[in-house]
Structure 1
Amino acid sequence: MSDINGFNAAYKILQANAEKLRRQDDLDIDSLVPIVEESAKAYQVCKERIAAVRAALQEHLKEENPDAPQK
């Protein structure tokens, strides 16, 4: 999907880009496009990793308690 390797790297990108935007006194529209594109890719990586962890956790919990009702 992306050349960003893992949740931590993607999260750091999101933090850095948010800080860049916070520090800007005068909004530079030309610099926004690459920041938004990079942030969107990083967000997608984070979202996919969180979904994978959530699915693995649900599977693990199902295996631990097979009689529990499923949502």
Structure 2
Amino acid sequence: MATRTRKKAAPKTFKDAYQILKTNAEELQNANEPDIDNLMNTVEQSIAAYKVCQARIEAVQQALDAAFDEEVAEDEPSQDDATETESSAE
């Protein structure tokens, strides 16, 4: 009778998810013969880890975009400031 490995819970952090991806990739690359009985578990675990990494990267990208947009908006003179500068120059 074939033994089934227990499904592990999805990783919660980018670091944990990245480590899973790295470990699974190394195991697959270094295996002389793939463990077909465990391959589906490895693939499912890797997909879950990839999704965690992808979601975290997207969240960081959005935060950086928002911070950059905010910084640019602060550096640009507002419409009122531009009007006042033009009026005082005359």
Bigger CA radius of gyration: 2
Q: Which of 21, 26, 35 in structure 2 is aligned with 1:19?
A: 26
CA deviations over 1:26-46 (Å, ceiling 9, x no partner) = 122221100000000000000
Percent sequence identity over aligned pairs: 42
Compute the TM-score of the two structures, normalised by the length of structure 2: 0.69
Counting only pairs closer than 5 Å after superposition, residues 1-71 of structure 1 correspond to structure 2 as 3-66=10-73
Compute the TM-score of the two structures, normalised by the length of structure 1: 0.86
Matched pairs, number: 66
* Unpaired segments ≥5 residues, structure 1: none
Aligned CA-pair RMSD? 1.3
One-letter amino acid matched to 1:20 = E
Larger RCO of the pair (alpha carbons < 8 Å, separation 6+): 1
* Unpaired segments ≥5 residues, structure 2: 1-8, 77-90
